[in-house]
Structure 1
Amino acid sequence: MKKEFVVIGLGRFGGSIVSELINLDAHVMAIDISQDKVEDFASIATQAVTADTTDESVLESLGIRNFEHVIVAIGEDIQASILTTLMLKEIGVPKITVKAQNILHEKVLKKIGADIIVHPERDMAIRIANSMVSNNILDYLELSDEHSIAEMKATDKIAGKTIIDLDIRARYGINIVAIKRGYEILISPQTIEEIQKEDILIIIGSDVDLHLFEKKLLR
């Protein structure tokens, strides 16, 4: 059975979410207050609706409570984002993901019960900055304020050594959770796995420890 989603706000972020969910074979109701934006997605989304989602009666009439996951991707109108999230909570939507504009917006969203809060612009900036600082960091994803998961390219310094030789869990407090080797992906590699040059290591740990490992062993 296909998963069903509602995406509210069809700007660049919301529009991209709609397109990707459709590509993943999900049912998507796309909503925006702008008729022009709705028309842009009429041929893409399962259903596209022009509506003011700060009105609880409108949400009720659309049957939003029957969807398992609603993504609030409203752009610059923080008040509309907050009111929409509040309305969704009050009608009993099981899971709500909201795009936050800033830290204050995030704090309010947490207080009113948003399940997942995302900062797409900030997160992308962090990923780009980390990849610019080091040629070995290929991707970087924040898991919390202090912990992340990173893709790092193995170099001559560690090529030919096993995970147990490097002893990175004890020395750096981080874990290699997978290794990409060409088209192959080794999930939870064994400690006797020998790292090869150009392997891509998928590593999880605190930001401080990840950067220390990258600086000491990969540069």
Structure 2
Amino acid sequence: MKKEFVVIGLGRFGGSIVRELVEQGMEVMAIDKFEDKVDEFSQIATHAVMADSTDEAALRSLGIRNFDHVIVAIGDDIQASILTTLMLKEIGVKKITVKAQNDYHEKVLERIGADKVVHPERDMGKRIAHNIVSNNVLDYLELSDEHSIVEIAANSLLIGNSIIELDIRAKYGINIVAIKRGDDIIVSPQANDVIQKGDILIVIGADNDINRFEKRVMQ
């Protein structure tokens, strides 16, 4: 069953979300206050509408409360982002995800009821930093302020050793939750599973422990 989304703000971040959701076969209403942005996405989104998202009457007229999920991707206008989120809550939208510009903005959004707050620039910065520090780190996803999940390409120090021989959990306090091996994914690998050349380890743990593992093993 297709889910129905609304994306408010069609800048680089919001626009990329619209494109990806449409590619995944979802119904998407794209909203922006600028006509050129609406024109750009009129052939991409299911519906593209020019509207002021801080106008409660305008949002209600679009039937926005009937959508499954609204993403507020407004760029530099923090006031408009906050007001839009407030309006969406008052209207009764089921789920609201909002892009935050900074930590203060995030605190306000959480206080007024945003279901999820994202920091795309900050999060991407962390991912790039981890990739720069270690060539073996392929991807990095923050789960909370202190925990993350990381994809790591097995290097010569890991290849040929079993999970139990590496004893990563005891030494570093992190867990290998899966191994990507070609087109296969080994979920919850066993203690006697041996790391092979080309394996990608999916590791979860506290950021400090992951950093310690990267510095000692993955350099």
Q: TM-score, normalization: structure 1?
A: 0.97
Q: Distance in 1 between matches of 2:72 and 2:88?
A: 10
Q: Tell me the number of residue pairs that the alignment of Structure 1 and Structure 2 aligns.
A: 219
Match runs of 1:93-108 below 5 Å: 93-108=93-108
Native 8 Å contact 1:69 1:96 kept in 2: yes
- Hey, which bits of structure 1, 4+ residues long, moved more than 6 A? none
Per-residue deviation at 1:215?
A: 2.2
The amino acid that maps onto 2:205 is G
Percentage of matched positions with identical amino acids: 70
Deviations along 1:123-169, whole A, 9 cap, x unmatched? 11111111101112111111111111111111111211111122222
Q: CA RMSD in A?
A: 1.0
Letter in 2 for 1:107: K
Per the alignment, residue 200 of structure 1 pairs with: 200
Task: Return the alpha-carbon distance in structure 2 between the equivalents of residues 87 and 211 of structure 1.
Answer: 41
1:24 — aligned with what? 24
* Contact 2:172-2:213 at 8 Å conserved across structures: yes
Separation (CA, whole Å) in 2 of partners of 1:76 and 1:129: 24
Unaligned runs of 5+ in 1: none
Aligned 8 A contact 1:175 1:204 in 2? yes
1:135 maps to 135
1:182 aligned partner: 182
Q: 2:144 matched to which residue of 1?
A: 144
Q: In the TM superposition, what whole-angstrom CA distance separates every residue of 1:106-135 from its partner, at most 9, and x where no partner exists?
A: 111011010110111111111111110111
Provide the residue aligned with 1:120 in structure 2.
Answer: 120
Counterpart in the other structure of 1:66: 66
Question: Do the aligned residues in 1 keep the contact of 2:69 with 2:96 (CA within 8 Å)?
Answer: yes
Task: Tell me what 1:87 maps to.
Answer: 87
CA separation in 2, counterparts of 1:110 and 1:139?
A: 27
* CA shift for structure 1 position 35: 0.8
Counterpart AA for 2:36: D
CA distance in 1, matches of 2:30, 2:171: 49
Aligned partner of 1:158 in structure 2 is: 158
Cα deviation, residue 182, structure 1: 2.1
TM-score when scaled to structure 2? 0.97
Q: In structure 1, what is the Cα distance between the partners aligned to 2:218 and 2:47? A: 49
